[in-house]
Structure formats: structure tokens, C-alpha cells
Amino acid sequence: MPKTVNQSIKPLNTTRNNLGNLEISGCDTVELARKYGTPLYVMDEVTLRQIAKEYKNAFSSYKKTNMMYASKALMTSQIAKILHEEGFGFDVVSGGEIYTIHNAKVDMNFATFNGNNKTKDEIETALKLNIGRISVDNFLEVKMLDEEAKKQNKIQKILLRITPGIECHTHKYIQTGHLDSKFGFDLTQIDEVINLIKNECSNLEIKGLHAHIGSQIFETKVYYDEIGVLIKELKRINTTHNLNLDEINAGGGLGITYIATDCPPSVDTIANTIITSIKDHCKKYDVEEPVLYIEPGRSIVGTAGVTLYTIGSNKQVPNGRKYIAVDGGMADNPRPSMYEAKYYAEIANYKNNKNMEKVTVAGRFCESGDILIKDIELNDPRTGDILCVYNTGAYGYSMSSNYNRVLKPAMILVNNSQSDIIIKRETYEQLVQNDVLK
């Protein structure tokens, strides 16, 4: 049995009902598809709240922990509201994410603005809304931020994002902590940026350091090592520059179980690793234990989400694969095309047989690479069946597009046999509303 939600393929309370249909939190997925149409993003509130509680409990022994949800994984007003209720702050990376959490009545003091190329307008908005921390990524941003803080007559608290030189075993596009990265200051640049801030930027207050080592991580030692780098550098900075930095942001990145062979560590294991590393390295370097920020994203929303599709055409390649096509694909979930991501799926509607067939699930978009799942065993897949793809809560909707001018799907929230729309299905009128005819 999974210890924490991120180790499960399916949302909690996923079962077959007395009709034989897949059901999530008392909601029949076949009925959901009929009522709301497909493709359809489905988020389970029970699973979402449970993983949030698991994170809070796992880090509860370290009283200086602040849980920050990495909004890029999935950001809607309702998701923000739920996680704020569960005691989470927010890591945001754009003006849109900032506006969304503000719209959800989140206390902006519990938000950190991150990103490698923040615009002037975004910085202005963040300061006007009194964002708690800004994770500064480069020299240009230091100057832009100080200039805007002066205009608004504010002292802005900042973290310095660093590249800790730690390379984890994940897809190269989602590694962020190695030296050859677009993110953050190299450790050799830290003294220069601190001197710049101390001598020229009177409206910035450095509080600590921020690092992020990647995403979909299954290792534990990388977190132990990352904390060691942060605390060692914190000690060096405080000694060298006569400062009192006392915050570290270790990012997120914990993996989830997409398919049966995935074995991510539990939230408890990661928490124990991080807390142990803090205590070990604080003792080693003789420093006070710092305030800790953790930024899980995928592991918060990934397992809580599924996507429902309707199966359309099929094609048997002579002496080759059989393809079944669904009414969505790379525009509502680009991860398989971008990262060769793998997913597990099931036929949601009842089948009175067990005629398992190996097929490849293709999307509807005009790209040969629009393949959602290669070579999966499905029970007698036929035109009109509903396909449920698991673990799509993270980076499905948030990376979606209008490729081929296809409308973006709706998203619903299910809980206690009830379903509610939290993102409306896009209409053709909305699709062209920003077009200009001359």
C-alpha cells in the first residue's frame, strides 16, 4: 500500500460502482463525461486535501517550515483557495499566477515570486500586492526590483536563487540545479551580487537562499546534499558579509507514480531526509537552524487529477501497432510529446468481458508525435468508450494550448458524489475574442 498519495497511480476512493463504471469520490466518470463532455479534466478534492495534509504532517517536527505550493503545476482560483485553506503559501512564476492567487483572496505575504526573466510589469504588480518574497535570479532583476521598490517606497524582502551544482537523474529538460542552467546565480557570483545589493540597492533586504534541483525526482540523497550546499553557503555569506540570513528555500520536485514501475519516495521519507540534513549541517557549520520553505507542485496535484476522453477512430497497421484515437491529445497534455512521459489508463465504462488488447493511444492533433500512451493493454477499446488517463493533474491544463484551434477542456472538482465546474469549457467565441479583423 502507498504510504503517501504521491505513490498512488489513482486518486483516493477510485473504484468500480455497481454499474461497473469507474467512480471517483462517488462520481461516475461515464456520467461525468456525458454531463460535461470530453476531453474533461477531473480533480478529486479528497486526494488533493489529503496530500496537503501529508506534507504538513511530515514536516511538523520542524517548526520553522513554510509549505509553498508550486503554482506552475496547476493554477486555478479554486485550487488556490483549497490549498490556502490547507495552510499552504504559493510559489508563483508569472503575473498571471500572481493575479490568480490574489483573485482567490490568498494572503500575498505567503507568496514567493520566482522566475529567470520577470518583466517590469510583473515586478510592479508583485510589489503593489505586497508579495512576501521575491526570489532574485540575475543581476538585471536586482536593479529592476530595487528601482521599483524605491518608486513604491518599500523595502522588498528577497531570496537569492542559486545553482547548487547538483544533478538529479530525471529528464534533462526538468533538471534545474546543475551548473549549466538558465536559473539562478552560480556560487561564484554570490559575493558580487551581495556587494551590489549592499552598496547600491537600499530598498532590498536579503533574507536567504533559494535553490531547486529538478522535477519528478525519485532520489533522496540529492535533497540531503542540496540542504548541505544551502547551509554551507548561508554560513559563508553571513561570516563574509556580516549578514544574518536565516531562510532557505529548497524548492520541490518530489516525483509521483505515473506507471507501476515508478517508485518515488514517500513524503515522509523526503521530509526526514531534509530535516536530518538541516540538523546535521547546522551542527557541522555551527549555525542556527534556518526557516525552511518547501515548494511541492506535481506531487500535490498530479495524483488528484485524471483526464477523460472519448475514443473515436482506430487503425490497425499491417503487421504493426493498433492505434486508437481520442478526442484530445497534445494540446491538453503535451508531456508525452515533450518529455516522453508515460501514463496509465483504463476504459471507464463497464465491459462484460476481459478482452485485453495492446494498443497505442493517439491524439487528434496534426502531429505524428501526438501519442498519449504507447503500447498499453486496454479492455476491448471501442469507438464511443470513455478512456480515463490517470495522474494528469500536474502540467496538463497548465501547459495546454489551442493548437489546431481546438478548444481548451473544462475542469471539474469532485467530492462526496458531487461535481462542480472550476474551469468552464472554452467556446469558439472566446477562441476568437482577441482576433482583430481590418
User: Could you report the per-residue pLDDT of 352-393, keeping only the tens digit for each?
Assistant: 999 999 999 999 999 999 999 999 999 999 999 999 999 999
Peptide bond into 334 cis (omega under 30): no
Q: What is the pLDDT of residue 177?
A: 42
Residue with cell 553557503: 233
Q: Are 68 and 56 in contact (CB under 8 A)?
A: no
Catalytic one among 27, 263, 282, 366?
A: 366
Residue with cell 515586478: 123
pLDDT in tens, 327-354: 999 999 999 999 899 999 999 999 999 9
Would you give the distance in Å from CA 326 to the centre of its chain? 25
Q: Which CATH class is domain 5-44+303-431?
A: mainly beta
Q: What is the pLDDT of residue 169?
A: 52
What mean pLDDT do residues 410-435 have? 98
Q: What is the pLDDT of residue 179?
A: 55
pLDDT bracket for residue 170 (50, 70, 90): very low
Q: Is the pLDDT at 437 greater than 70, yes or no?
A: yes
The SS3 call for residue 198 is: helix
Q: What is the pLDDT of residue 173?
A: 36
Q: What is the pLDDT of residue 178?
A: 45
Residue 412 and residue 402: Cα distance in Å, rounded?
Answer: 19
Question: Looking at the chain, how many residues does it have?
Answer: 438
pLDDT in tens, 231-240: 999 999 999 9
CA-derived radius of gyration, the chain: 23
Domain boundaries, the chain: 5-44+303-431, 45-301
What mean pLDDT do residues 181-208 have? 93
Q: Is the pLDDT at 180 greater than 70, yes or no?
A: no
Q: Are strands 111-113 and 89-92 parallel, antiparallel or unpaired?
A: parallel
pLDDT bracket for residue 427 (50, 70, 90): very high
> Phi-psi region for residue 153, left (φ > 0), alpha (ψ -120 to 50) or beta?
left
Smallest CA-to-CA distance from 84 within 101, 62, 99, 64 is with 101
Q: DSSP E strands: which ranges in 319-423?
A: 322-326, 345-347, 356-362, 371-379, 386-390, 410-415, 418-423
Q: What is the pLDDT of residue 7?
A: 97
Residue with cell 471507464: 348
* Grid cell at residue 149: 521598490
Amino acid at 158: I
Q: Is the pLDDT at 174 greater than 90, yes or no?
A: no
What mean pLDDT do residues 146-162 have? 98
Q: Are 361 and 326 in contact (CB under 8 A)?
A: yes
The 10 Å CB-count burial string (b at 16+, else e) for 60-85 is eebeebbbbbbbbbbbbbbbbbbbbe
What mean pLDDT do residues 56-84 have? 98
- Percentage of the chain with pLDDT > 90? 94
> Phi-psi region for residue 282, left (φ > 0), alpha (ψ -120 to 50) or beta?
alpha
Q: Is the pLDDT at 37 greater than 60, yes or no?
A: yes
168 catalytically annotated: no
What mean pLDDT do residues 310-321 have? 95
Would you give the distance in Å from CA 137 to the centre of its chain? 20
- Percentage of the chain with pLDDT > 70? 96
Smallest CA-to-CA distance from 51 within 93, 100, 8, 81 is with 8
The SS3 call for residue 351 is: coil
What mean pLDDT do residues 42-69 have? 98
Residue 257 and residue 343: Cα distance in Å, rounded?
Answer: 9
* Grid cell at residue 432: 476568437
For the domain covering 45-301, report its CATH number: 3.20.20.10
Rounded mean pLDDT of the chain? 95
User: Angle, nearest 10°, between helix axes 267-285 and 221-241?
Assistant: 30
Q: What is the pLDDT of residue 184?
A: 84
Asked if the domains 5-44+303-431 and 45-301 are classified in one and the same CATH topology, the answer is: no
Q: What is the pLDDT of residue 171?
A: 37
pLDDT bracket for residue 411 (50, 70, 90): very high
Smallest CA-to-CA distance from 89 within 256, 301, 270, 294 is with 294
Q: Is the pLDDT at 287 greater than 60, yes or no?
A: yes
Q: Is the pLDDT at 167 greater than 80, yes or no?
A: no
Q: What is the pLDDT of residue 1?
A: 61
In 10 A of CB 338, how many CB atoms? Answer: 15
Q: Are 53 and 296 in contact (CB under 8 A)?
A: no
Would you give the distance in Å from CA 194 to the centre of its chain? 30
